[in-house]
Amino acid sequence: MTNVMAANDDGYKPGGLHDDLACPICLDVRHDCKIFQCNNGHLICEPCHASVNECPVCRARLSRPGSRCLFAEKSIQALVTSCKYAKDGCGYASANRDQAEEHTASCIYGPVECPLLPCRELVTRASLLGHILKTHEAINLQVDEDGTAKSEVDWAFLEQGVTASIPFHLPWRGRLFLAVVSRHHTEYCSWVFGLWEPRGKEAKAVIAVECDNLTLRATTQTVRLEKKIAEIVADDSVLCMSSRQAKIAARDGAKIIFKLSIPEESDSRMHQGQAEDEGAASTY
């Protein structure tokens, strides 16, 4: 996974040091390659330098193999921030401090509580799915190409206690989702967690409960793992049923349906990290 910093990302002032160090072709500040310069001092990153014959700024002819700018390389390295979980095996680093902090908040090597009640065991994000599949016997659902998954639910299970939860594992399009049906006080709620979801890249989820005498539907965003159940319910990120509706669902054998969708801009960015994430997922 290439770690770069977009020179025009929000949070950095135009004309500042980051813009000065950005390649004028790809507009990235690259800390993972050599930095070359033309005879007039304009910087070009190594991949772009190999693809052009003249400086895009002043049109000066580029020499081969090229003149490196060691000062620019050292300046960029001074800006690089590593993930706080580097000692645990994370190799992420970025010259963009905001991006580095965003990554750390959702790093697969970081700790997270199991979202299922009453467990709440502290595990890493990378091991969470394995923990849920093994410890909680999550139900694996087949997700259709369009993102739809259906399952019957043993609604009687939820009567066993206030903290009962039923997990559903929903792998789809290289991403991992965990749907939950849980009892919260006098209501029965369902929502979808996005595993390893970066902030602002959440998928959409439509949750429905359907049978002959009951149809309920809610359109929500997938939920980050850090959220507590009380926060999830308060944010309307769930489909909720009353006790009466749950009894109808149990009596008539209602199915629960999850329909996932990923906004195009979110989908394209997520696949940048898919190879790295799949490496962790392969350990399950």
Let me know whether 76 and 116 are in one domain: no
Q: How far apart are CA 67 and CA 141, in angstroms?
A: 56
Overall domain count for the chain = 2
Let me know whether 117 and 251 are in one domain: yes
User: Using a CB cutoff of 8 Å and minimum separation of 24, what contacts does 159-167 make?
Assistant: 163/117, 163/118, 164/117, 165/116, 165/117, 165/136, 166/139, 167/116, 167/132, 167/136, 167/138, 167/139
pLDDT value of residue 49? 94
Let me know whether 176 and 70 are in one domain: no
In a domain, 255, yes or no: yes
What letter does residue 61 receive in the DSSP assignment? Answer: B
Low-confidence ranges of the chain (pLDDT < 50): 1-15, 162, 265-284
CATH code of the domain in which 192 resides: 2.60.210.10
Chain mean pLDDT for the chain = 78
CATH code of the domain in which 45 resides: 3.30.40.10
In a domain, 54, yes or no: yes
Domain boundary among 38, 64, 81: 81
pLDDT value of residue 23? 92
Let me know whether 133 and 193 are in one domain: yes
pLDDT value of residue 43? 95
The tokens of 127 are what?
């091991």
In a domain, 97, yes or no: no
* Burial of 76 (C-beta count, 10 Å sphere; 0-12/13-18/19+): buried
What's the domain range around 166?
Answer: 111-281
What letter does residue 128 receive in the DSSP assignment? Answer: H
Token look-up 């392969």 returns 282
pLDDT value of residue 62? 92
